[in-house]
Amino acid sequence: MPGDHAPAELLAAMSSLLLSVRDAPLDLQADGVDRARRTRSDVVDQLSDYILPRLVQLDAPLLAVVGGSTGAGKSTLVNSLVGERVTESGVLRPTTRSPVLVHHPDDAEWFQPDRILPDLPRTTEQGNGSYALRLASTDRIPQGLAILDAPDVDSIDKGNRELATQLLAAADLWLFVTSAARYADQVPWDYLRHAAERSTSVAVVLDRTSDDALIEVRGHLARMMTSRGLSDSPLFTVPESNLDTDGLLPRVSVLPMIDWLAELAADPVARQMVVHRTLDGAVRHLVLRAHDVGDAMDGQIEVAETLFGTADDAYRATVERVARQTSDGTLMRGDLLATWQEFVGTGELLSSVEEKVSRIRDRFVGGMTGRRTRSTEVVEAIETGVRMLLTEQSEATAETVSRAWNATPAGRRLLDAADGPGLDRASRDVRVRAERLVHDWRQGVVELVRVEGADKRMTAKFLAFGVNGIAVAVMVAMLARDGDSPTSGGGSGAVLGRRLLDAIFGAPVVDRLLDAAHADLVSRATTLLESDLARYHALLEAPDSLRGHQTALRDAARQAEYSRHADFLNGGTTS
What tens digit of pLDDT does each residue of 531-565 get?
Answer: 999 999 999 999 999 999 999 999 999 999 999 88
Q: How far apart are alpha carbons 460 and 477 in whole angstroms? A: 21
**Smallest Cα–Cα separation from 366: which of 346, 348, 388, 343?**
343
Residue 135 has φ and ψ, to the nearest 5°, of -95, 125
DSSP string for 151-212: PPTT-SSHHHHHHHHHHHHT-SEEEEEEETTTTT-HHHHHHHHHHHHTT-EEEEEEEEE-HH
**Sequence-distant (≥ 6) Cβ neighbours of residue 322 within 8 angstroms:** 389, 390, 393, 522, 525, 529
How many helices and strands (H and E) does the chain possess?
18, 8
Name the helix (H) or strand (E) containing 1.
Answer: none
At 202, the amino acid letter reads V
The answer to whether the CB of 214 falls within 8 A of the CB of 183 is: no
**Smallest Cα–Cα separation from 77: which of 162, 170, 150, 166?**
150
| Structural domains for the chain | 61-266 (3.40.50.300), 326-540 (no CATH)
Each of the 575 residues of the chain gets a pLDDT tens digit; together they read 334 667 888 999 999 999 999 999 999 999 999 999 999 999 999 999 889 988 988 888 999 999 888 888 888 999 999 999 888 765 444 454 578 899 999 998 888 776 778 778 888 776 555 667 888 999 999 999 999 998 888 888 888 888 888 888 888 999 999 888 888 888 888 888 888 888 888 999 998 888 888 889 999 999 999 998 888 899 999 988 888 988 899 999 999 999 999 999 999 888 888 988 899 999 999 999 999 999 999 999 999 999 999 999 999 999 999 999 999 988 887 777 777 777 666 433 333 344 444 554 444 444 434 444 567 888 888 999 999 999 999 999 999 999 999 999 999 999 998 876 689 999 999 999 999 999 999 999 999 998 887 776 556 556 556 788 888 889 999 998 887 544 444 455 567 778 888 888 889 999 999 999 999 999 999 999 999 999 999 999 999 999 999 999 999 999 999 998 875 544 544 44
Angle at 446 between CA 440 and CA 449, to 5 degrees: 145
The answer to whether the CB of 47 falls within 8 A of the CB of 18 is: yes
Taking the CA atoms of residue 256, residue 260, residue 265 and residue 270 in that order, the dihedral angle to the nearest 10 degrees is: 170
What tens digit of pLDDT does each residue of 362-382 get?
Answer: 444 444 344 445 678 888 889
The stretches of 407-542 forming alpha helices (DSSP H) are 409-417, 430-452, 460-480, 492-505, 507-537
The answer to whether the CB of 415 falls within 8 A of the CB of 472 is: no
> CA gyration radius for the chain?
40
CA 78, 80, 81, 84 torsion: positive or negative? positive
Angle at 241 between CA 235 and CA 247, to 5 degrees: 105
The answer to whether the CB of 73 falls within 8 A of the CB of 140 is: no
> How far, CA to CA in Å, does 134 sit from each of 71, 101, 128, 145, 512?
21, 6, 10, 16, 81
Q: Is 125 left (phi over 0), alpha (psi -120 to 50) or beta?
A: beta
Q: Which residues of 402-429 are buried (b: 16+ CB within 10 A; e: fewer)?
A: bebbbebebbebbbeeeeeeebeebbee
Cis peptide before 94 (omega within 30 of 0): yes
Q: Is 333 left (phi over 0), alpha (psi -120 to 50) or beta?
A: beta
> How far, CA to CA in Å, does 487 sit from each of 2, 76, 442, 475, 482?
90, 95, 24, 17, 13
Q: How far apart are alpha carbons 221 and 100 in whole angstroms? A: 28
The answer to whether the CB of 332 falls within 8 A of the CB of 494 is: yes
Angle at 435 between CA 431 and CA 440, to 5 degrees: 150
Terminal CA-CA length for the chain: 19
At 119, the amino acid letter reads D
The answer to whether the CB of 124 falls within 8 A of the CB of 134 is: yes
DSSP string for 377-434: HHHHHHHHHHHHHHHHHHHHHHHHHHHHHHTSHHHHHHHHH--SS-TTS--TTHHHHH
